[in-house]
Amino acid sequence: MWLNHMELLEGVEILIVDLDGVVWVGGRVIEANVKALSRLQERLQIYYATNNSTRSRVDYASKLRSLGLEASEERVITSGRAAALWLKRFTDARNVYVIGEEGLKWELEVEGYNIVDRGLEAGAVVVGLDRRLTYGKLVEALRAILGGAYFIGTNPDHILPEEEHVIPGAGAIIAALETASGRKPDVIVGKPNPWMVTSTLGDVDYGRVVVVGDRVDTDVELALRIGAKSILTLTGVTRSLDGEAYRRLKEAGVVVVKDLEELLPTA
């Protein structure tokens, strides 16, 4: 029914693999995918790219290594990292008001940004998932945005899957500030924004890249935008597809797998 999966990986040099919904869901590791990745890493360069900004690259690399996956800090891309690189490349802001968690703050600080407590002191506002969001943080961020600060969203995800249910994503918090301020973010750096990948990988041949993820609107869309191939694994947000959705993905060249073990040669 689909492309021959081994054929899909012919000529491929780089896999860009999503984390939530691919390597784990909430606290549960997706064993089949980890097993497949530990095989695939023997012949491919694997980067891990997550729209989740709550942890730093260092945290994720360490977690991935604990699962037996090769992952240095340089092989992990978070939307927090992409936000720091965007600020550095496109703005002269130095003071940043952050709605987000420790990982996001770390990524900004490591690039030399000052995290400020008051919106009015900020040249930029970076908004990511913050499970300690309060009304007071929205007030400060709104003041900064209305005061003319850059308005950067880490990622557009409306929700984040947990084991039992879903929780509001960065996209929901961004929507609140967009509504209050009447201003759209200057940029949302996470997937499907190509910046998420190009800011770290630079000028590689994206025809030799495959994006692996559980979401059509972020992972598959990113692949389409950078001219890469893509694999949708039904282990996260997308658990099943109706016939029409399958047909459209197939037409777009997307390979859909139950899990990544389908990519391995059968013994």
Active site residues: 13
Which residue shows structure tokens 């009447």? 182
The correct pick among 34, 58, 115, 180 for binding its own copies (CB under 8 A) is 180
Residues of span 94-153 touching its own copies by CB under 8 A: 130-135, 138-139, 142-143, 146
Q: Name the minimum Å distance from CB 235 to its own copies.
A: 20
Query: Contact at 8 Å (CB) between 192 and 215?
Result: no
Report which of 74, 143, 131 is spatially closest to residue 100, judged by C-alpha positions.
131
Which of the 8 DSSP states describes residue 218? I
In one-letter notation, the amino acid at residue 131 is R
27 binds its own copies (CB under 8 A): no
Pairwise CA distance, residues 202 & 182, whole Å: 34
Q: Which is nearer to its own copies, 12 or 146 (CB)?
A: 146
DSSP-assigned beta bridge partners for residue 151 = 125
Q: Name the minimum Å distance from CB 43 to its own copies.
A: 39
The correct pick among 121, 168, 208, 224 for binding its own copies (CB under 8 A) is 168
Q: How far is CA 54 from CA 20, 127, 152, in A?
A: 12, 11, 15
Q: Name the minimum Å distance from CB 163 to its own copies.
A: 14
187 binds its own copies (CB under 8 A): no
Q: Name the minimum Å distance from CB 13 to its own copies.
A: 37
Q: Which is nearer to its own copies, 110 or 172 (CB)?
A: 172
Piece of the chain touching its own copies by CB under 8 A; list 23-31, 58-66, 171-179, 257-265: 171-179
The correct pick among 12, 110, 175, 264 for binding its own copies (CB under 8 A) is 175
The correct pick among 28, 43, 89, 165 for binding its own copies (CB under 8 A) is 165
SS (H, E, C) 152-206: EECCCCCEEECCCCEEECHHHHHHHHHHHHCCCCCEECCCCCCHHHHHHHCCCCH
Report which of 73, 77, 44 is spatially closest to residue 210, judged by C-alpha positions.
44
Helix (H, G, I), strand (E, B) or coil at 160: strand
169 binds its own copies (CB under 8 A): yes
DSSP-assigned beta bridge partners for residue 28 = 25
What is the size of the binding site for its own copies (CB under 8 A)? 29
Residues of span 214-233 touching its own copies by CB under 8 A: none
**Residue 43 region, left (φ>0) first, then alpha (ψ -120 to 50), else beta?**
alpha
Where do contacts with its own copies occur on this chain (CB under 8 A)? 130-135, 138-139, 142-143, 146, 158-159, 165-169, 171-180, 182
